[in-house]
Amino acid sequence: METNAYNQKLNRYVLNDQIVYTGFSSFEDAQQCASKKGGILVEVMFKDGNDNPEIIDEAGLIEKKLHYYVYAGDEYKFIHSSDPGFRKYADELQKIKADNDKTSPDERYFANFEIENIEDPIIVLKNDHFQSVTSRERSKYLKHARVYELGVSLPKS
């Protein structure tokens, strides 16, 4: 089993004559994997809610040295746990959670923002207002989102 720098399982896809790994925790993590395995960095895109990646160079992840990016229209912003602004939004959500803890148990159950329990959390904003918290893996299944990930491609042997 292949893992990223945080010992999380990498996703493995077989595309035509190559094997592509995604799920890296950083650009540097992907670079190290490519170097170690003799592979090359590629950008893959997931779209239309499918977990079938396409190799593409649309978001410029390699040039920008990014490992993950989501585009779902100009009104949406996806903030990955590794993004600089994530902590600010996470702190705001913790304040909301603290306020919710003062409410009835039923309300707490339905309005739970336990972002620390989500693996590789993503905060979703719509028009700069909190929309939801999702995971990196679940973001691939959003119908109107294009999810770009850095991958490592190896020849299929």
Q: What is the mean pLDDT of the chain?
A: 84
How sure is the predictor about 80, in pLDDT bands with cuts at 50, 70 and 90? Answer: confident
Flag whether 147 is in a domain. Answer: yes
pLDDT of residue 88: 81
CB 109 within 8 A of CB 120: no
Flag whether 113 is in a domain. Answer: yes
Flag whether 1 is in a domain. Answer: no
Structural domain harbouring 130: 11-155
Q: What is the mean pLDDT of residues 72-100?
A: 82
Flag whether 103 is in a domain. Answer: yes
Q: Which pTM does this prediction carry?
A: 0.80
Tokens found for residue 137: 């893996």
Residue 32 reports pLDDT greater than 70: yes
Residue 119 reports pLDDT greater than 80: no
Flag whether 28 is in a domain. Answer: yes
Flag whether 6 is in a domain. Answer: no
Q: What is the mean pLDDT of residues 63-84?
A: 91
The total of structural domains in the chain comes to 1
Q: What is the mean pLDDT of residues 131-154?
A: 90
pLDDT of residue 39: 96
Residue owning tokens 């945080």? 6
- The CA distances from residue 49 to 78, 88, 118, 142, in Å, are 16, 29, 20, 5
Flag whether 5 is in a domain. Answer: no
Flag whether 2 is in a domain. Answer: no
